[in-house]
């Protein structure tokens, strides 16, 4: 059995207690003796004041794999973010036991002239987020030897709500057809959800700090912080995929205070929880 912890969207710069939240996540990983940890992105800006957070992560004694999030490259080139995170490539794969774990980089945009990594400093009208052809070809290759795979990405590969999910999601779903994709996991949506498309479960991991709400005209923004750093532990065995989530509460403002009575927003559930699920394996 393989066990791993997944967290995302800590947004250290937004939190007064970012280090404490990170420490709690890492301590839980140690207590649970997971095989590895995945950060699904939007961890912190790649700046000097966040070096202690990276040192804490490196000293935890468990391998930590990073996914590039839009906030990790909103004002920085990808090379700077990679160097900060200690990553060699923006997308990568690693194997453990009978499984291959694939980490995508969905932080690209596409215009008439080509496919480019964030940031889009020129503000050229474009399609985004986007997974470029080169990465799609690489993904297809990774899935083509029949190995059972789990795919991680910052943005959703299925969420159709405005520009939450990647714009060329159908291209990715098509690559998955007939392949051994056991599970996809994403962050970015600051909520929790499970969608099943083409027999593949797509699970969205809640933020480790907050539900970030903004008004329809984009003028008003509120960060609705959770009391606890939400994250999940995933167990893979021969029969099941068990996603062990957790529940928390809001620290102050709640969704109904910003007019969200049904707790659905941006295509996900915004209760202060990371949903738990037991999925029967079909592959
Ligand atoms: Fe985020
Ligand atoms: Fe994000």
| Cα 251 from chain centroid (whole Å) | 23
How far is 208 from 205, CA to CA, in rounded Å? Answer: 9
Token pair for 158 = 């299925």
For ligand 2, the distance from its centroid to the CA atom of residue 137, given in whole angstroms, is 24
For ligand 1, the distance from its centroid to the CA atom of residue 188, given in whole angstroms, is 4
**What single-letter DSSP state applies at residue 27?**
H
For ligand 2, the distance from its centroid to the CA atom of residue 31, given in whole angstroms, is 28
**CB-count burial class (<10 Å; 0-12, 13-18, 19+) for 192:** buried
For ligand 2, the distance from its centroid to the CA atom of residue 154, given in whole angstroms, is 7
For 124-160, letters b (16+ CB in 10 Å) and e give eebebbbbbeebbebbeebbeeeebbbbbbbbbbbbe
The confidence score (pLDDT) of residue 64 equals 98
For ligand 2, the distance from its centroid to the CA atom of residue 130, given in whole angstroms, is 13
Q: In sequence order, what are the residues at sequence separation of 6 or more whose Cβ sits closer than 8 angstroms to the Cβ of residue 177?
A: 198
Q: Mean of the pLDDT values across residues 187-191?
A: 97
For ligand 2, the distance from its centroid to the CA atom of residue 164, given in whole angstroms, is 9
Residue pair 103/82 in contact by the 8 Å Cβ criterion: no
For ligand 1, the distance from its centroid to the CA atom of residue 174, given in whole angstroms, is 26
For ligand 2, the distance from its centroid to the CA atom of residue 238, given in whole angstroms, is 32
Q: How many residues does the chain have?
A: 283
* pLDDT tens figures, 140-159: 999 999 999 999 999 999 99
For ligand 1, the distance from its centroid to the CA atom of residue 226, given in whole angstroms, is 14
Ligand whose nearest atom lies closest to the CA of 164:
2
* pLDDT tens figures, 200-256: 999 999 999 999 998 888 889 999 999 999 999 999 999 999 999 999 999 999 999
* pLDDT tens figures, 40-94: 999 999 999 999 999 999 999 999 999 999 999 999 999 999 999 999 999 999 9
Return the CATH number of 2-280, one of 2.120.10.80, 3.40.50.300, 1.10.3980.10, 3.60.21.10: 3.60.21.10
Ligand whose nearest atom lies closest to the CA of 207:
1
For ligand 2, the distance from its centroid to the CA atom of residue 32, given in whole angstroms, is 27
> Is the pTM of the predicted complex or chain greater than 0.85?
yes
Q: Report how far apart, in Å, the C-alpha atoms of 2 and of each of 44, 56, 96, 241, 242 are.
A: 28, 24, 8, 10, 11
* pLDDT tens figures, 100-141: 999 999 999 999 999 999 998 888 889 999 999 999 999 999
Residue pair 39/219 in contact by the 8 Å Cβ criterion: no
């Amino acid at each position: 059995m393989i066990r791993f912890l997944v967290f995302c969207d800590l947004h250290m710069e937004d939190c007064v207690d970012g280090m404490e939240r990170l420490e709690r996540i890492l301590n839980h990983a140690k207590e649970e003796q997971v095989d590895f940890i995945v950060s699904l992105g939007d961890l912190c800006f790649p700046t000097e004041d966040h070096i202690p957070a990276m040192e804490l992560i490196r000293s935890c004694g468990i391998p930590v794999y990073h996914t590039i999030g839009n906030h990790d490259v909103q004002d920085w080139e990808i090379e700077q973010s990679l160097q900060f995170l200690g990553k060699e490539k923006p997308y990568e794969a690693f194997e453990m036991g009978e499984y291959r774990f694939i980490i995508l980089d969905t932080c690209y945009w596409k215009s008439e002239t080509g496919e480019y990594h964030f940031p889009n400093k020129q503000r050229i009208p474009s399609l985004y987020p986007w997974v470029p052809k080169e990465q799609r070809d690489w993904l297809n290759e990774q899935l083509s030897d029949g190995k059972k795979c789990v795919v991680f990405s910052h943005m959703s590969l299925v969420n159709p709500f405005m520009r939450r999910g990647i714009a060329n999601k159908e291209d990715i779903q098509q690559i998955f057809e007939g392949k051994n994709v056991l599970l996809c996991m994403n962050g970015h949506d600051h909520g929790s959800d499970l969608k099943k498309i083409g027999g593949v479960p797509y699970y969205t991991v809640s933020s480790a700090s907050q539900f970030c709400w903004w008004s329809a005209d984009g003028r008003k923004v509120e960060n609705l912080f959770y009391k606890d750093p939400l994250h999940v532990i995933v167990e893979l065995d021969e029969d099941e995929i068990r996603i062990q989530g957790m529940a928390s509460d809001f620290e102050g403002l709640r969704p109904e205070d910003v007019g969200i009575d049904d707790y659905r927003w941006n295509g996900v559930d915004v209760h202060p929880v990371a949903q738990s699920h037991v999925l029967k394996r079909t592959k």
